[in-house]
Amino acid sequence: MSSRALTSALLRRMVSVHGSNDLVNLPECGDALPPRLGVLLGNLDLEARQAADYLRELRADEEGVAILFDRAELGEVEGGRYRLRTKPLREHFDLCDHRFAREPCLPGARGSGFLVARFPQRRRSRWLVTASHCVDPAQLANTVVTFAFDLEAVQDDAVWIPVDEVYELRAELVRCADDDPADWAIFELDREVVGRTIRPLATEPVAARRPVHIAGHPLGLPRKLAGNAVVRDTAAADHFKANLDAYGGNSGSPIFDSETHAIVGLLVSGQEDLMPSLGCKLDQCMLDQCPGETCTRVALFADYIPYPES
């Protein structure tokens, strides 16, 4: 084997085992932070109790994050649950990073979204924010939403979502202009979502070098969180850039301040996600050479969130 071939084989092996990005599945239980999340707060050495508390906050961040997809992918109802029409990620994307290859995905997912409310501490809302390009007005009636697409929903390689965990988009409340790169929209769900943590929107612009993280459904996968990122560019009035690991399917995801857990932005665009390399597709930003993902500032849509009726 030539030295070049050997190098490629070793690199592919390293990526397949250790990964090429900062995506993680938060553990369902336990108090230990996954290694890739240990850098969220700037490589601080967290005591066991601090790590456990921080992990609980991260789990809470995810509670109000949803995937948007076509109702045709709901599948049949069995025992009060939908069996989603998913396929293993590896059947759709030949990734060098094999960590999620066996996980089910919705390759036709329209994007991610998150709950917002005037009084988030009440833990109830019918208002969902996402990127406007995720749902064309003509797709409104055929788009469904669930906050329950995580690894707990995966059983025997199938994804089961309770019927009462599926929501419809009742109406479009407001969206930015079609030619506005801010790319945001607010939708009304068919009923209130009750009991999930809803993070507040930040009241001040996020500062450069501030640590941030993202939660959403990259590549249509069960919900993932990615950290180890900071705000890189705050020059624009309507958006900032951060070196987040995000992919198709992450559009509409919330960007969290990693210290306060307030939502500071909405992911709307970024550079090409994957590039052919080593006979498979490699994360283009693996070597941290990307300028950053574009995130719309929450101030652009915060004032449009309705007050509750009572």
Query: Is 174 a domain residue?
Result: yes
Phi, psi (rounded to 5 degrees) for 18: -100, -15
- Confidence (pTM): 0.89
Q: Which amino acid is at 158?
A: A
User: For position 124, what pLDDT does the model report?
Assistant: 97
Percentage of residues in the chain with pLDDT exceeding 90? 64
Tell whether the model's pLDDT for residue 225 goes beyond 60. Answer: yes
13 three-class SS: helix
Residue 40: pLDDT band by 50, 70, 90 thresholds? Answer: very low
Q: Provide mean pLDDT across the span 242-248.
A: 89
Distance of alpha carbon 241 from alpha carbon 179, whole angstroms? 20
Work out the average pLDDT over 48-66: 89
Phi, psi of 151 (to 5 degrees): -65, -25
The per-residue pLDDT for 11 is 47
Q: Any idea which residue has 């089910």 for tokens?
A: 104
> Using CA atoms, how far apart are residues 265 and 252, in angstroms rounded to an integer?
9
The CATH number given to whatever domain includes residue 165 is 2.40.10.120
| Mean pLDDT score across all residues of the chain | 86
308 within a domain of the structure (yes/no) = no
**225, 37 contact by CB (below 8 A):** yes
Query: Residue 181 falls within a domain, yes or no?
Result: yes
For 217, which DSSP code? -
pLDDT digit string, tens, across residues 59-115: 999 999 999 999 999 999 999 999 999 999 888 777 777 788 889 999 889 999 999
In a domain, 49, yes or no: yes
193: in domain:
yes
Establish if 15 belongs to a structural domain: yes
Q: What are phi and psi of 28, to 5 degrees?
A: -65, -30
Q: What is the pLDDT of residue 289?
A: 58
Taking the CA atoms of the chain, what radius of gyration do you get in angstroms?
A: 19
d(CA 242, CA 262): 16
Residues in the chain: 310
**131 - beta bridge partners?**
184
At 142, which amino acid appears? N
For residue 229, the one-letter residue type is A
Q: Binning pLDDT at 50, 70 and 90, where does residue 35 land?
A: low
Q: CA–CA separation, 260 vs 248, rounded Å? A: 27
Burial class of residue 249 in the structure, from the number of CB atoms within 10 Å of its CB (0-12 exposed, 13-18 middle, 19+ buried): buried
- Is 75 part of any domain? yes
Range of the domain at 32: 3-302
What is the tally of structural domains in the chain? 1
Structural domain contains residue 309: no
Burial class (CB in 10 A: 0-12, 13-18, 19+), 21: buried
